[in-house]
């Protein structure tokens, strides 16, 4: 090996690059119970989310420019999957996910808008 040459090591994918993470803009419609109890005051959260089947769940990171409490329902957030191997390519306009609400144990509806 030449002096100064670097070896790139990827412990998850030792033979290739990391998958590309994508972000999307989403509208989150909170459950009626969450609205009744009060919307969250945080501006970032990571919670379980599912597409149509609850057999395929992923940790969804939601970054709000203003808290849901300030925005109301629906709220707008930048969203991405936490895991590098999640199906990032599915975060496209019109895709819908169910997001677990911690305080109510109900589901919010996440719709990708951009």
Torsion, CA 36, CA 37, CA 41, CA 46, rounded to 10: -100
In tens, the pLDDT along 84-101 reads: 999 999 999 999 999 999
Kindly state the average pLDDT of the residues 46-71.
Answer: 94
Tokens of 33: 């119970």
The dihedral of CA 31, 34, 39, 40: what is its sign?
Answer: negative
Rounded distance between C-alpha atoms, residue 91 and residue 111, angstroms: 9
Nearest-Å Rg of the Cα atoms of the chain is 17
Residues in CB range of 42: below 8 A, 6 or more apart: 64, 67, 68
Q: What is the pTM of this model?
A: 0.81
Is the predicted pLDDT of residue 42 greater than 50, yes or no?
yes
């Amino acid at each position: 090996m030449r002096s100064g040459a670097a070896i790139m090591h990827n412990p998850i994918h030792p033979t290739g690059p990391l998958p590309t993470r994508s972000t999307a803009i989403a509208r989150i419609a909170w459950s009626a119970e969450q609205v009744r109890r009060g919307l969250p005051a945080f501006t970032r959260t990571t919670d379980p989310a599912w597409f149509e089947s609850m057999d395929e769940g992923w940790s969804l990171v939601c970054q709000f420019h203003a808290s849901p409490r300030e925005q109301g329902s629906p709220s707008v957030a930048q969203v991405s999957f936490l895991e590098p191997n999640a199906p990032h390519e599915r975060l496209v306009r019109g895709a819908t996910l169910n997001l677990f609400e911690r305080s109510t144990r109900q589901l919010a509806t996440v719709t990708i808008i951009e």
